[in-house]
Amino acid sequence: ALIAAVAGTATYSRVDATAAAIAQVEVISALERKAETLQSAVREQALSIQTFMLTGDRAWLERAGEQSKAATGLFDELGGSTLAAIDGASAPLADMRQAWQTWKSEKIDQQVQYMRVPETIDLARAMELTPSSSRLMPEIFAAGGKLDAVLTARREALVAEQSAAMASARRIALGSL
């Protein structure tokens, strides 16, 4: 009876650890989806701005503004979430946000201003070709890639913990037979 009680307690402990790991994996997966949605919003914003630069159609500028608001909201959500509790996740998010804000302020805001004046439209379009302009988007997505890597590594570690806890629970259950 004592062996059964000890085995039951140990099995419960391992199953409980598995449940905790599953819950954490769900949180990490939700953060990964938000980070992916954020990168998509930034990508859509960039494409909308480029289309606006080519066509002059203000509908694309409005769409870029909508994507900018979506990205801002996602940066805020991720920054205020449990992301801060994950080792190494806050820095890439901060780097990504900083690069995005720099891209917006140094490039996009200036281009939009130039597009408002017929005499400077060509200047706005030429900004696409400058070295400083072309480095900003890769910086945004490099930081996003680092964030993805941190989240993926944490999720994989939790899945490994979950598997180890289940294997241990199985061994205890078999050993108590």
Amino acid 63: pLDDT? 97
Mean pLDDT, the chain, rounded, equals: 87
Q: First-to-last CA distance in the chain?
A: 12
* The one-letter amino acid at 121: I
Q: What one-character-per-residue DSSP string does 56-91 give?
A: --HHHHHHHHHHHHHHHHHHHHHHTSGGGGSTTTHH
**What is the Cα 141 distance to its own chain's centre?**
10
Amino acid 170: pLDDT? 72
Evaluate if residue 12 carries a pLDDT over 80. no
Do the Cβ atoms of 49 and 128 come closer than 8 Å? no
Longest dimension (CA), the chain: 90
Q: What mean pLDDT comes out for the span 57-77?
A: 96
The band of 4, judged by pLDDT with boundaries at 50, 70 and 90, is low
The per-residue pLDDT for range 70-125, each reduced to its tens digit, is 999 999 999 887 777 788 899 999 999 999 999 999 899 999 999 999 999 999 98
Tell me the C-alpha to C-alpha distance, in Å, between residue 5 and each of 11, 19, 143, 172.
10, 21, 50, 11
Classify each residue of 100-128 as buried b or exposed e, where b means 16 or more C-beta atoms within 10 Å of its C-beta. Answer: beebbeebbebbbebbeeeeeeeebbebe
Evaluate if residue 7 carries a pLDDT over 90. no
Q: Greater confidence, 173 or 37? A: 37
